[in-house]
Amino acid sequence: MAGVKTIGLTGITVAMNDRVDKFAEKELRSRSLKALADVKLMTPVDTGAARNSWYIGYKEQYFDNSKGENSPTSNIQVLVPRNKPGEIFVTNGVTYIQLLNEGNSKQAPMKFIESAFSKYFENVKVEYVNK
């Protein structure tokens, strides 16, 4: 009975999976940064706190209230390559971001956050968290 011997296919499969993971991660970062730029431009401005309080990273981060309500912990965190990212968080820690997104400003339409992100992602989920 003749057989086929495979040599090195495991290594090729691992290398291909790494390339796919790196491509997916690069695409996720690219889309996230584009959506972040869009949502920042769409954020209404009075004092500038809401517009300057967007954060992007691999984990959630909110305002550092120990420095006062208008003291963001970080304006933007550079996304460095990571193996198999599960998700990227884009957050805004001002207490009134929900009101702005509900249309309480004449400067931005209702659901401007969803609008900015739906250009780059199919499933957009906005959660309001009071911390």
The phi and psi torsions of 57 (rounded to 5 degrees) equal -175, 180
Which among 128, 94, 130 is positioned nearest to 111, based on CA atoms?
Answer: 128
* pLDDT, tens only, 83-128: 656 677 788 888 899 999 999 999 999 999 999 999 998 888 888 8
pTM above 0.85, yes or no: no
The pair of structure tokens assigned to 115 is 């609008």
DSSP 8-state code for residue 56: E
Give 19-66 pLDDT, tens digit per residue: 777 788 788 888 888 999 999 999 999 999 999 998 887 765 444 444
